[in-house]
Structure 1
């Protein structure tokens, strides 16, 4: 029978592209990790990875087995959460606010899964990019990018390592070519986002040694981040978006990350509330749940490989 910890190691190794990195994440030694991987391959009677002294990549059989391993681990995790939920069931309304793009395209299926574990919880979701007034509006918590401007608010990290990435659709790139350097962005149509009436036309990047920022231009802008992402998927131009917003599109091939050696600016996701008294058990469970899902997406980010 396959062991749970062996499957965990396999999935983590596939995500990080490194056996030693997976061992660190699971708090085990490289030798134990190597033995676990060999044991799994022996049980399956296939090679899951092609190894060399400097690289590690999935074999065709490994690619095939990866999705099944992920689903198995998710099913086991859901079962454990349901058992825990049955021992300490949470109920009642939970009112939360989230950004339009992240909320619609990433958070919604997570909330579906969370509510299946806690069926007596009543979720009330507000989506929009305007920052909610947590002291006046009927919202318990807000999920927001960046630190709150009001220092009196409580902010708990959900995805501290999240960054923006430069993306475009394969259709746009087929018609206009792929930029080979930041200086080429001037000849591309850049899709712009507005917040509070201010146009975010200054895009910032870093290659680890130096930072570079440039002003871009394009024929479309919106105060709804989801609209900007949809324009990019439709092939209308380049977009500079939070990785958490576009990870699904990149994985599905609808968008491609451009100039990956240039890191976009940090865009941490936080859970924000007005008072620590609002950090109820449902809020803390939701935070832990969303934090774990964000970590899975960040493990596949271009700067993590």
Structure 2
């Protein structure tokens, strides 16, 4: 395929009526311009100009090819302008990956509101607690708990101080005495979450600037955080959940926090993408919007 710069040189030479003038406009050395034209003619297998020391005119093949060369360059210009318009506007397709519990029970109404503010946005949402592969899957950004394992990814903080909370329903605590120390968790049915092949059954807490952990047991485990939350609300056991996931449940009394003298482990929420080039105006605007809503959730 011909080089774009060679096409540009050819079109400018035709317009200027001379190779030297075209080279000056494109800031090329005369020798480089001559080589570009020769390279293009070789690629096409045809002479494009009849050249003399004083003049340059198109051949029949050159006149025919000039029409197509102009169309190619115009299409490229229009494509670049289209991309520039999209990157400066809050519009276009936005492929999101969101954790199940946070996505279904907290963020979906916010995303509806964001689309109302920016009607040009078209969401494609993947709700799952399985970690999406941002390099191989068609996903622009992922909303994730914890720092990304791949240091090459970009992580923008959404709720950096979010923590986990031990909780259960009022009905559960009517039947079982609320734990007063970590060791008491051994006597409770603990609802565990599995991510990948790892069961999160070692629950960590901070107290008096010291970290303590306990390995818990129970009769239920799931790779869906929303299911663990529903089990807890139904009174099936204790759960160790992100405060963001259960903030409304705590406010409305569907769940009650336990071991309040202990501080749950950090569960920072980040907006993650594979490269900074993915941070389009739409993504940055969504990040700012979500940070504002998450701050309001604390109130």
TM-score clears 0.5 = yes
CA–CA distance in structure 2, aligned partners of residues 140 and 210 of structure 1: 39
Check the 8 A contact 1:89/1:118 in 2, yes or no.
Answer: no
Please name the residue that 2:156 is paired with. Answer: 156
The structural deviation recorded for 1:208 is 3.6
Structure 1, unaligned runs of 5 or more: 1-87, 301-305
1:129 corresponding residue in structure 2: 129
CA distance in 2, matches of 1:163, 1:220: 23
Superposed counterparts of 1:136-151, under 5 Å: 136-151=136-151
Give the structure 2 partner of residue 179 of structure 1.
179
Q: Find runs of 4+ consecutive structure 1 residues off by over 6 angstroms.
A: none
The residue correspondences of 1:43-82 to structure 2 (distance < 5 A) are: none
Q: TM-score, normalised by structure 1?
A: 0.68
Q: Deviations over 1:118-153 (max 9, x none)?
A: 112101100111111111101000000011111111
CA distance in structure 2 between the aligned counterparts of 1:141 and 1:196, rounded to whole angstroms: 20
Q: Is the 8 A contact 1:96 1:125 kept in 2?
A: yes
1:209-248 alignment to 2 at 5 Å? 209-248=209-248
Deviation at 1:209, TM superposition (A): 2.3
Partner of 1:93: 93
1:155-191: CA deviations, max 9, x gaps? Answer: 1110000000000000111111211222211111000
- Stretches of structure 2 that go unaligned for 5 or more consecutive residues are 1-87
Q: Partners of 2:226 and 2:171 in 1: how far apart? A: 19
Rounded to whole Å, the distance in 2 between the matches of 1:170 and 1:252 is 11
User: Which residue is equivalent to 2:290?
Assistant: 290
Two-structure CA RMSD over aligned residues (Å):
1.1
1:120 aligned onto 2:120: yes
* Cross-structure match for 2:14: none
CA-to-aligned-CA distance 1:232-270 (integer Å, 9 cap, x gap): 011000000101111011111100111112011100001
Q: Distance in 2 between matches of 1:157 and 1:146?
A: 10
TM-score w.r.t. length of structure 2: 0.69
Residues 202-250 of structure 1, C-alpha deviations (whole Å, 9 max, x = no match): 0000024221100000000001111111100110000001011110111
